[in-house]
Amino acid sequence: MQNKNKTWNVNGRLIDFSSPKVMGILNITPDSFYDGNRYTDLTSAVKQTEKMVKDGADMIDVGGYSSRPGAEDIPPFEEAERVAGIIAAIAKEFPGIAISIDTFRSEVAAKALDAGATIINDITGGDHDPKLRRLAVDRRVPYIIMHMRGTPQTMNKLAQYDNVVKEVIADLQKKVHDYQKEGLTDLAIDPGFGFAKNVDQNFQMLRDLEAFAMMGRPLLVGVSRKSMIWRTLEIKPAEALNGTTALNMVALMKGADILRVHDVKEAVECVKLYSRIG
């Protein structure tokens, strides 16, 4: 299912999506739904990054704003303060790793890029802050467009669709078209599992993931330890690794190019096994 022509220019280095990539999650937040409060200091963040790099991560996604449903809203300066120093340390310690800044605020992204980030991952897909797209153009960095509605504080109330797959694809297609006109070339799409979608809608998107892959852009899938897994299995997020691996394999077989995960080693193993049949 992989599109052999999908590539990114990341700070002068080509990332080729002819084989799937693994993006490790580094949450620098005290209230993340799964691993919050583990990596809020420099030492633990660098140590966790070292583990993910050794486990085979192709990218590290650093976020300082919790996007779990109902999470507390924090000001941009606090978000930037959480991530900038850690990104600088990671960029110095692991110069070969691509670093993504998970934010929807241009002022935060600018400080993260100054510190060494090389990718922008926008959970609002450009809806919250249009300056973020301009920043991506000016700095010539890849930009990930995720689909969501509302904010982390309101999105659970906005999961009304006649056809979730068609509506999400239509939104992403329009943004890809519009953002290309603005000068963005290295784009990726993310259906936004769990963001203004209920469990049934999440599984519908996963069933029809080939439709997203057909858009011809690198496709990021982030289902790691999310509620579609642990609610279905009636377990806790901490017990959802096996379910995550199962759905990651489904995603790969349906065209995913990037797996965004908490558990890098298991995702890399999943990609290696998929490569024998993909």
Q: Catalytic amino acids? A: 226, 260
Identify any residues that bridge with 221 across adjacent strands, giving them in sequence order.
259
- Contact by Cβ (8 Å): 10, 142: yes
Helices 106-115 & 76-93, crossing angle to 10 degrees? 20
**Nearest CA-CA partner of 149 in 140, 141, 158:** 158
Take residue 132 and report the two structure tokens written for it. Answer: 């973020």
Strand partners, 62: 26, 101
Strands across the sheet with 119-122, in order?
Answer: 187-190, 143-146, 119-122, 98-102, 59-63, 21-27, 258-261, 220-221
What number of residues does the chain have? Answer: 278
DSSP notation for 24-47 = EEEE--TT-TTTTTSS-SHHHHHH
And the tokens for 106? 């241009």
* CA 145-148-152 angle, 5° bins: 120
Q: Which tokens is 76 given?
A: 């941009």
Q: Cβ contacts of residue 12 below 8 Å, gap of 6+?
A: none
